[in-house]
Amino acid sequence: MRAARIVLAVIGVLVIAFGAFVLVTSVSPNRIGGLAVWLLGAVVLHDAVLSPFVVGAGLLLRRAGRTLRASVLVVVQAAIVLGSVLALVVLPEIEAKDQGPKNPTVLPFDYGTRLLLVEGALLLVVVAVLVIGVVRSRRPGRSSTARTTG
């Protein structure tokens, strides 16, 4: 296990070094500040918005997990993570589209509508999985003690 950790650490350091090399050789110095702001914003959004939301949803789901199967909880948690990450990725495109792009071919789609459609599809999947999970957990023949003990 120790050897695997060392190998992974070395690979991580090499990837970071390669990324720094590519950054220095391909990005002009006057744009590095904007990139740093963007990266800092991504970290703040992840740590201040996405992570607490997913942790809170996970805590709520664990309470419900006493009566729901683990597979149902996994689907719901995955949909929450996918929907949150998708929203964080697409919201800048929506904002840029609202400001009017300098080149109309750069942002050609209606990203707000598409985001709502995908988020709605995720919501439908979650509702369907929850309904199926609740129906299966309340099947006759399963004793009530099997559902409440854990």
DSSP codes, 87-116: HHHHHHHHHHHHH--SSTTTS-S-HHHHHH
Sorted by where each begins, the domain ranges of the chain are 1-45, 65-150
pLDDT tens over the chain, length 150 residues: 899 999 999 999 999 999 999 988 998 888 888 888 988 988 898 888 888 887 887 788 777 766 777 788 788 888 988 998 898 888 888 888 888 777 777 788 888 899 999 999 999 999 998 888 878 877 766 554 555 554
The alpha helices in 27-69, defined as continuous H runs, are 29-45, 51-64
